[in-house]
């Protein structure tokens, strides 16, 4: 018996933890990758609650940056960035439901050096940008190609970082909008949240028939805030199991691990992202765990944890969490 057995996914999902069919979503099967998440694209896969999907994700630059001499300004073309697999249709998913995505495994895929990091002009936290518009000269364009394996990311001669993979962009479709894959919002999107890795479950609100799941943007590791604008981007084989929860209405994405539950907000300025995350967490504790809302609010002031996902994307992402230990009734 693992923590999954008592997870929300397994206790409230239609599959009740029972594994379904395994599907492959290879590059070939995917065909054209997507740069917006919305209700207007053609499905690439239909699955049932409980099914597993093995997905071949491309890196955020769709492989265009092959060497350290490939400058982003020459090789990348806005807005065709951050390619997404999908949409995957989940049978029975309707507006008002929740889709649960359990990330099981993320394996590097392809020839070394697999990882790419770079500084993109007018993108990142410590530079003037498209929105924080300045007249300064942009920072230099610098590209790093990085060897990595399932243990380490070999950043430089001096520094080796542990391999801590996560999915940067995970979404269902908005109801009527189609949103580019660089932008997170209440549908999920480009959250860049390091907690969204193997052994996590993400819960996303369904707003469109079938849910329309998109996935991509794997990071071999990422610091809080993704400060230069780019993580160690790499192509993967990612294995997920997907379930459907009826009768659970949520407004923003949520996440669960063995240790904690987390509410996720995406907005600007950063305090609004944090407000959303904490308000959702207060409401969650009140609704599902029997706390008085003011007690939850004051208690999170003592034990809430905040993860800064990104503060570089068109909207910033914050997760607010509480340890499951504190949610238990004595």
- Residue numbers 291-320 binding a copy of itself by CB under 8 A: 293-295, 297-306, 308, 311, 316, 320
Binds a copy of itself by CB under 8 A, chosen from 15, 30, 35, 101:
35
Query: Least distance in Å: CB of 78 to a copy of itself?
Result: 9
- Could you tell me the sign of the dihedral formed by the alpha carbons of 208, 174, 231, 112, in that order? positive
Count of residues touching a copy of itself (by CB under 8 A):
84
Instruction: State the DSSP string of 217-242.
Output: EEES---TB-TTS---B--EEEEEEE
Binds a copy of itself by CB under 8 A, chosen from 178, 199, 209, 239:
178
- The Cα diameter of the chain in Å comes to 60
Contact 88, 45 (CB under 8 A): yes
Extract the tokens encoding 146: 């990085």
- Residues 158 to 177: which contact a copy of itself by CB under 8 A? 158-159, 161, 175-177
Residue 48 vs 145, nearer CB to a copy of itself: 145
- Residues 229 to 248: which contact a copy of itself by CB under 8 A? 229-232
> Does 125 interact with a copy of itself (rule: CB under 8 A)?
yes
Strand 161-162: give its sheet, edge to edge. 115-119, 142-148, 152-154, 161-162
Strand ranges, E, within 62-159: 84-90, 98-108, 115-119, 142-148, 152-154
- What is the bridge-based pairing of β-strands 22-25 and 52-57? parallel
Distance CA 196, CA 170 (A): 9
Q: Which stretch binds a copy of itself (CB under 8 A): 14-22, 30-38, 99-107, 242-250?
A: 30-38
| Per-residue binder mask for a copy of itself (CB under 8 A), 268-287, x = binder | xxxxx-xxx-xxx-x-----
Binds a copy of itself by CB under 8 A, chosen from 26, 134, 258, 287:
134
> Does 67 interact with a copy of itself (rule: CB under 8 A)?
no
- Residues 213 to 232: which contact a copy of itself by CB under 8 A? 221-232
Query: Least distance in Å: CB of 15 to a copy of itself?
Result: 31
> Does 133 interact with a copy of itself (rule: CB under 8 A)?
yes
Query: Least distance in Å: CB of 104 to a copy of itself?
Result: 23
Contact 190, 218 (CB under 8 A): no
Binds a copy of itself by CB under 8 A, chosen from 36, 116, 237, 317:
36
Distance CA 153, CA 306 (A): 25
Query: Least distance in Å: CB of 146 to a copy of itself?
Result: 9
Distance CA 118, CA 305 (A): 30
Dihedral (Cα; 81, 83, 89, 93), 10-degree rounding: -50
Binds a copy of itself by CB under 8 A, chosen from 138, 154, 198, 324:
138
232-249 b/e (C-beta count within 10 Å ≥ 16 → b): bbbbbbbbbbbbbbbebe
Q: Which stretch binds a copy of itself (CB under 8 A): 8-16, 18-26, 63-71, 140-148?
A: 140-148
Binds a copy of itself by CB under 8 A, chosen from 42, 131, 151, 247:
131
DSSP state of 3: G
Query: Least distance in Å: CB of 39 to a copy of itself?
Result: 9
């Amino acid at each position: 018996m693992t923590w999954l057995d008592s997870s929300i996914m397994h206790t409230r999902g239609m599959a009740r933890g029972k594994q379904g069919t395994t599907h492959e979503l290879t590059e070939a099967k995917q065909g054209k990758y997507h740069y917006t998440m919305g209700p207007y694209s053609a499905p690439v896969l239909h699955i049932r609650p409980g099914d597993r999907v093995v997905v071949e994700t491309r890196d955020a630059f769709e492989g265009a940056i092959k060497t350290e001499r490939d400058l982003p300004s020459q090789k990348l073309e806005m807005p065709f960035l951050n390619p997404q697999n999908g949409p995957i249709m989940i049978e029975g998913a309707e507006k008002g439901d929740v889709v649960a995505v359990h990330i099981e495994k993320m394996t590097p895929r392809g020839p070394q050096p697999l990882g790419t990091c770079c500084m993109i002009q007018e993108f990142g936290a410590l530079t003037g940008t498209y929105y924080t518009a300045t007249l300064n000269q942009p920072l230099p364009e610098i590209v790093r190609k990085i060897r990595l394996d399932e243990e380490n990311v070999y950043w430089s001669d001096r520094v080796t970082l542990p391999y801590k993979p996560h999915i940067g962009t995970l979404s269902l479709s908005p109801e009527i909008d189609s949103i580019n894959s660089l932008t997170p919002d209440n549908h999920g999107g480009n959250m860049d949240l390091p907690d969204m890795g193997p052994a996590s479950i993400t819960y996303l609100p369904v707003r469109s028939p079938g849910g329309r799941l998109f996935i991509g943007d794997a990071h071999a590791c990422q610091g809080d805030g993704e400060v230069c604008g780019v993580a160690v981007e790499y192509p993967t084989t990612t294995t997920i199991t997907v379930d459907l929860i009826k009768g659970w209405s949520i407004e923003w994405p949520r996440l669960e691990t063995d240790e904690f539950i987390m509410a996720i907000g995406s907005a600007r300025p950063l305090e609004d992202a944090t407000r959303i995350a904490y308000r959702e967490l207060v409401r969650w504790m009140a609704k599902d765990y029997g706390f008085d809302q003011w007690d939850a609010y004051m208690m999170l002031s003592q034990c809430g944890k905040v993860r800064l996902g990104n503060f570089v994307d068109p909207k910033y992402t914050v997760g607010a969490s509480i340890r499951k230990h504190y949610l238990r009734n004595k």
